[in-house]
Amino acid sequence: MQRLLLLIALAALYPAAPANAKTYTPTELQALVRAGRYPEQGDVTKTVVDRSYAACIIALESMVDAIHPNYPTATIASTSLLRTEKVWTNDAALTVTCDAVRNKIIITRSPYL
């Protein structure tokens, strides 16, 4: 249920990519990330939401588990106080951070150029 709420929140926070935005298929993204050639990214939008660290981690892991079979993901940081995952989707790269000190979830989105 928390995964569904997080995915709905992400969809509501970020409108569809502009018509001129670059998009990739899951197969293209997997190949690019595997080769270390990441898509060029545009301006970053950032959203911060109150969320306990434990609830954030559960939602983050559920989201990554749902996305990972098709799209590339990477753990950027994983400590007892901070966890950051990067996810490449069709039209943008997302980073989702769980912050235990501030009890926040921080979501950034960068569309591809």
Non-local (6+) Cβ contacts of 12 within 8 A are none
- The pLDDT assigned to 59 comes to 94
pLDDT tens-digit series, residues 6-42? 554 555 455 555 567 799 999 999 999 999 999 999 9
Tell me the whole-structure pTM to 2 decimals: 0.82
The pLDDT of 85-107, averaged and rounded, is: 97
Question: Which DSSP symbol is given to 64?
Answer: H
pLDDT tens-digit series, residues 80-92? 999 999 999 999 9
Domains of the chain: 2-111 (3.30.160)
